[in-house]
Structure 1
Amino acid sequence: MNPDAVVVGSGPNGLVAAVTLASAGRRVLLLEAADAFGGGLRSAELTLPGRVHDLGATIMAMAMASPAFRSLGILHDASAQAHGSGTAGAAAVEVVHPAVAAAHPLDGRPAVLVYRDAERTAAELGRDGWAWRATVGAAAEAGFALTDLLLRPLGPWEVPGVATLAAAARFGAFGALPATTVGRRLFRTVEGRAVLAGMAAHSVLDLRSPITAGYGLLLAATAHLVGWPLVRGGSQVLADALVARLRELGGVAVSGHRVRHLRELDAPVIVLDVTPRQLAAMADLPPRYRRALARYRYGPGVFKLDWALDGPVPWRDPAVAAAGTVHLGGTMEEIALGEAEVAAGRHSPRPYVLLVQPYAADPTRGGHTLWAYCHVPNGSTADMTAAVEAQIERYAPGFRDRILARHAMTTADLESINPNLVGGDIGGGWAGLGQFVRRPVWSPAPWRTPLPGVYLCSSATPPGGGAHGMGGWQAARLALHDTR
């Protein structure tokens, strides 16, 4: 094959880039160093035979909201189509929804439940229902026009309409603030503040930092706009479907092939799903650009646990069993304290824990499988098993008695599986205001490198981490524009 384009790395961004280029008629060669395609979309039997665990992303909210994945028409959501949204074209991968998108247990109180329905969720929050409607509800009502704009902080993009700009201004008035500030100013109840903090903590930032409210509000809005579904059978199904689509379009995909230097490649377009550290190691770069990459900052890492259980988690509040995602950490103040500890380079004794119970929506994964992670300093070698399981036991007494097998991954283990997870950083780089668009350098088109025909498409490019494929989509579209 004499390719028009070579894509290196098969995470969500690399896969989207490869399919986008092939859909435009380019002859595409996809190269992956690992034995399996997918990167953050990989699944494996980590605990017991027949138990399917996702190594990375499980919840596909950002993929469903992403214009990149919507343009490919590969995700099939029958429930969304029934409501007049979602992918309506040819579909290859089925997503399934839990009855509850997310739950936030609290000590001595009923858990806060976030539903697909915004009004039902607002009713859950009682006195804070108005604040939810004014922030999260308003963002969801603005629809894809707003989420598309927020997922494309830099071009190329179409000029937004007046209504979208107004919605973005309203969102930005709160989203630019720290989550703790918005929590104190808008939300009056323990429940309202806690659920906002649980959402905002996905940013892996100190919740006293600017724009953390924006991360939380956008993520919560996707629960109402597209839901928080997961891929039936495991996230690997989506990766395999994207590879199959590439091959249907005439592309070639090769796993187990590590590219060590760009001189090994010969194509007019090269798209790299790698972080700045890998790019600097594999390319002869201009000194100024190399120095800029060296200043790129990676964020905290995660410590991840997977379990095979003999039954569902015995939540003290039975309503939590219906949730696909569970945020554990207690009140806003507790979560903010734990995240501040991590941001300062320390391990929290009572960490914020993000837990996913796929069996709430997908019975095809071989039984009651579960995963969770907590945030830790980048490169941490600490075993956080006891701390994570203590947080689960706090809200689900008897949880440990359900464990048949467990599998733990430190930051080093995660990086060994996927070199893009530098120091265990699953977001591809620190997500604070200083690197919100400076990913990895200041540029109106940061996907384009100084090397002719070479583009960067990883989560180290805007809009950052998440299984949305936007970095790959933007890099591929820029390459098509440059070579038209």
Structure 2
Amino acid sequence: MARTVGHVDAAIVGTGPNGLAAGVILARAGLSVTLFEARDTIGGGLRSTALFDSDVVHDICSAVHPLAAASPFFREFDLAARGVPLLAPAAAYAHPLEAGPAGIAYQSLDRTCERLGKDGSRWRTLFGPLVERGDAVADFALSDQRRPPGDVVAALLLGAGTLAFGTGAAARLFREPATAALLAGVAAHAAGPLPSLPGGAVAMLLGHLAHARGWPVPRGGSQRIADALASDIEANGGRFEQGRTIHDLRELAEAKVVLLNTGPAGLLALGGHLLPSRYRRRLQAFRYGPSAAKADFLVSDPIPWADPGVGEAATVHLGGELSEVFAAETVVAKGNRAEDPFVLVADPAVADPGRARGGRRPVWAYCHVPPGDPRDAAALIQAKIERFAPGFGDTVLAREGMPATALAAYNNNYVNGDIAGGSVDVRQLLARPTPRLDPYSTPLGGVYLCSASTPPGPGVHGMAGYHAARSILRREFDIRQLPDLGP
């Protein structure tokens, strides 16, 4: 067995956003904290690097962060005050069509409704009340799902919108194809069959955030978020051991508390032999969802969208009309390849011009594929972009594909390339990863979970780490008051 770790109050395995958020809270509460990272660079899904050009930063996994802007943890942590402003473009996201104008969701609700024409009033009816209660909606959606909502009206509004776009009624909600497609592209972030209640919930949450706080990118790349969190941990006495793989929970036997920023598969690998058989079987039954296949591009010019308005958005959904988006996502959710898959494109330099250096800029994109698909989808993704942006290929200076299998190898939490940490369906939202009063605790005394496989699920929000740290402080150290998280 590998060498054991010496005494520490809290040992955190994994330095993704949830592990880092938990580290911030526990270190600020006065605990001795050590974080272990198998790779040489911290950050998990927040990592950034120079792929093709030493001057141009590419985000390896996550690039655009509406949930970071809305998260109660990050609102208090205040990234901007720490030199990491979140930059929101004028248009949060766009959805071009091959026939007719693109759907564009501006941060301005008024401007969005004006562009949507006949559907403008319906869009306002759907999102206006949610925007007015934006922080309360985010607080409810990003809660531990074990307490009554602080704002019941906000919860009811989110529920009503979920029913409106999470059922067969979605196809009848709007008059214009561009409007329906615009929201269908947001629902596709749920990576599952559509329409569905999880898809409707994601559409309402991310859709209203477009007008509340925008869909921003962090200045300089996602790694800057991880670095700000790490700096705060170290400033409060926390330590990092990078390039250190933990193979067995027994290596951490001298830690009073162990917090795993891993999914069920990670816990089984580290301590399956120690778990009660019933709990182990439940973890083994945890279901993972569709995967992602990613492509990174180094380009010489902004993407030449056929509809120039699309260029105001840093996030663009390519999937055709609502029926096409729903059909493609449902095919993939059934374990098959879609002939024309949904593609999400991120062009961070739209919001952060500093990401473009010497005329070169990063473009990031992925499509949904069946679990463990080994196919390099870079050529497919480039062709899809070219359909809506003729001449895009002429701007590509370099390209690299990252199949689902490569994503799985890159991050053990991305089982089979599932970047959501597990299927996002009704059952696994309510009991994630297993039915348990405290979803962060495990039957092993002092061992907790805090990954995207726990509530509130996927996304860069830090709230799984926040809730897990709160549970640890209360249950293990009898600390009821969370520390101040401000700069």
Pick the TM interval, shorter chain.
Answer: over 0.9
Among residues 305, 309, 333, which one is paired with 1:343 in the alignment?
A: 333
Counterpart of 1:451 in structure 2 is: 444
Counterpart of 2:392 in structure 1 is: 399
Counterpart of 1:185 in structure 2 is: 172
Q: Is the 8 A contact 2:299 2:396 kept in 1?
A: yes
2:354 alignment partner, SS class: coil
1:47 alignment partner, SS class: coil
Cα distance per residue 1:158-209 (max 9 Å; x no partner): x545xx2123123212314654624223212111110110110000011122
Q: Give the Cα separation in 2 of the matches to 1:146 and 1:450.
A: 32
User: How far does residue 26 in structure 1 lie from its aligned partner after superposition?
Assistant: 0.9
Among residues 48, 52, 69, which one is paired with 2:74 in the alignment?
A: 69
Where does 1:62-461 land on structure 2 (aligned, <5 Å)? 62-73=67-78, 75-76=79-80, 90-155=81-146, 157=147, 160-161=149-150, 164-176=151-163, 179=166, 181-265=168-252, 266-283=254-271, 284-365=274-355, 366=357, 367-461=360-454
User: How far does residue 153 in structure 1 lie from its aligned partner after superposition?
Assistant: 4.9
Percentage of matched positions with identical amino acids: 45
Q: Is the 8 A contact 1:326 1:355 kept in 2?
A: yes
1:379 alignment partner, SS class: coil
Q: Is the 8 A contact 1:178 1:207 kept in 2?
A: no
Q: Is the 8 A contact 1:177 1:210 kept in 2?
A: no
Q: Give the Cα separation in 1 of the matches to 2:45 and 2:158.
A: 29
Cα distance per residue 1:439-463 (max 9 Å; x no partner): 1101231101111111100000011
User: How far does residue 337 in structure 1 lie from its aligned partner after superposition?
Assistant: 1.2
Cα distance per residue 1:306-346 (max 9 Å; x no partner): 00011111111111112110011110011111111101111
Q: Is the 8 A contact 2:297 2:397 kept in 1?
A: yes
Q: Is the 8 A contact 1:51 1:369 kept in 2?
A: yes
Query: Where does the alignment leave 5 or more consecutive residues of structure 2 unmatched?
Result: 1-5, 479-487
Cα distance per residue 1:358-408 (max 9 Å; x no partner): 110112223321010000001011222232122111110111111100011
Q: Does 1:23 align with 2:23?
A: no
Q: Is the 8 A contact 1:52 1:234 kept in 2?
A: yes
Letter in 1 for 2:324: E
Q: Does 1:41 align with 2:46?
A: yes
Q: Give the Cα separation in 1 of the matches to 2:116 and 2:308.
A: 18
Query: Where does the alignment leave 5 or more consecutive residues of structure 1 unmatched?
Result: 77-89
Q: Give the Cα separation in 2 of the matches to 1:225 and 1:2.
A: 45
User: How far does residue 434 in structure 1 lie from its aligned partner after superposition?
Assistant: 1.7
Q: Is the 8 A contact 2:47 2:222 kept in 1?
A: yes
Among residues 61, 64, 82, which one is paired with 1:56 in the alignment?
A: 61
Q: Give the Cα separation in 1 of the matches to 2:314 and 2:282.
A: 40
1:436 alignment partner, SS class: helix
1:326 alignment partner, SS class: strand
Q: Is the 8 A contact 1:178 1:211 kept in 2?
A: no
Counterpart of 1:5 in structure 2 is: 10
User: How far does residue 27 in structure 1 lie from its aligned partner after superposition?
Assistant: 1.0
**Cα RMSD (Å):** 1.5
Cα distance per residue 1:47-99 (max 9 Å; x no partner): 233221101111111011111222322x11xxxxxxxxxxxxx4331221222
User: How far does residue 116 in structure 1 lie from its aligned partner after superposition?
Assistant: 1.1
Q: Is the 8 A contact 1:5 1:26 kept in 2?
A: yes
Q: Is the 8 A contact 2:137 2:158 kept in 1?
A: no
Q: Give the Cα separation in 1 of the matches to 2:153 and 2:459.
A: 26
1:106 alignment partner, SS class: coil
Q: Give the Cα separation in 1 of the matches to 2:112 and 2:430.
A: 32
Q: Is the 8 A contact 1:2 1:27 kept in 2?
A: no
Taking structure 1 as reference, are residues 359 and 441 closer, same or farther at Cα in structure 2, changes over 3 Å only? same
Cα distance per residue 1:113-158 (max 9 Å; x no partner): 1111112212221121122122222211112112101111523x5x
Letter in 1 for 2:232: R
Counterpart of 1:475 in structure 2 is: 468
Letter in 1 for 2:329: E
Q: Is the 8 A contact 1:101 1:323 kept in 2?
A: yes
Q: Give the Cα separation in 2 of the matches to 1:393 and 1:26.
A: 53
Number of residue-to-residue matches in the alignment: 466
